[in-house]
Structure 1
């Protein structure tokens, strides 16, 4: 698990501005979705933190389902042989990332220990952010369910998780990133990213905190 922390100066900054540490002190579980980004075998093979966060992702998914909320499993899709990817990454790596999400139904492409349930949202994306316009059907599916709060988990913290969280906030979703249910390349990258999210885009909370919010929101 990452050794994560938000510096006290960042907490103090928001406490001075808005009078409280966290923007979102409560949530309505029925209008909340857990977004699980890119937890597929490709990333488990290269990052042990994916294995470490899996129990927390399962806890969050079970709690939110039980409270009437939604769980969205998001996997990488194949955007095709784009010129940008080949120029930026090189042919071999571009092709590797095109195949990173695997093939077959989305629910069959999840990492070890993760299982999609009936009624979960199954999403394939073709950009780092699952909410970038045209990259997936996620925004449409969330709005169809009346979702107002998204809880973001998955990997990599600094790439697809951050991209999805930033776009969620831009689209007006109440955004919470779960620091101990996300996996980055290393502690430094992870912490730099969660500080930026906390400063500008949404709350950063622990699994324990989010479970308490979900429980408190149950009528």
Structure 2
């Protein structure tokens, strides 16, 4: 698990601006979606932190689903052999990433220990962000379900997770990135990304924090 942290300076900056540390101090579970980005075998093989975060991702999914929320599983799709990927990554690596999401039904392509349930959203993305226009059907799926809060987890923190979180904020979703349910290359990259998201795009919370928000939201609704 990453040793994650956001500096007190960053917390103090927002506390001075908005009068509180966290942007989102409550949520409506029924209008909340857990978005799990790229937790597929390809990335587990490259990054052992994926194994460490899996119990948290699974717990968040079970609890939010049980509270009436939405769980969305996002896996890499095959965009085809693009000129950009060949030029930027080189032929061999471009081909490797093109096939990183695996083949077959999406529910069978999730990483070890993860399981989609009936009613979950299953999408492929063909860009870094699952919410970049034309990348996937995720935005349409969330709008159909009247989602207002997006809780982002998965890998890599600094690439597809960050891209999805940034676009979620741009689209007007209340965006929360879960610090101990995301996996980056290393602690330094992970924490730099957490700081950027917290500073400019959304909230950064722990798994326990999000579970507490879900529980409190359920209490309000009873």
TM range (shorter): over 0.9
What secondary structure sits across from 1:151 in the alignment? strand
Q: Which position in structure 1 is the counterpart of 2:132? A: 132
Cα separation, 2, equivalents of 1:81 and 1:46: 22
The corresponding residue for 2:142 is 142
Alignment pair present for 1:113 and 2:113: yes
- Deviation string 1:32-63 (CA, Å, 9 cap, x unpaired) is 00000000000000100000000000110001
Q: Which residue of 2 aligns with 1:183?
A: 183
Instruction: Say which SS state the counterpart of residue 72 (structure 2) adopts.
Output: strand
Q: Name 1:39's counterpart in structure 2.
A: 39
In structure 1, the partner of 2:12 is 12
Aligned position for 1:29 = 29
Q: Number of residues paired by the alignment?
A: 219
1:161-201 CA distances to partner (integer Å, 9 max, x unpaired)? 00000000000000000000000000000000000000000
Which residue is 1:100 aligned to?
A: 100
Q: Where does the alignment leave 5 or more consecutive residues of structure 2 unmatched?
A: none
CA shift for structure 1 position 76: 0.1
RMSD: 0.3
Q: Which consecutive aligned stretches of 4+ in structure 1 deviate over 3 angstroms post-superposition?
A: none
TM-score norm. by structure 1 comes to 1.00
Secondary structure of the 1:116 match is coil
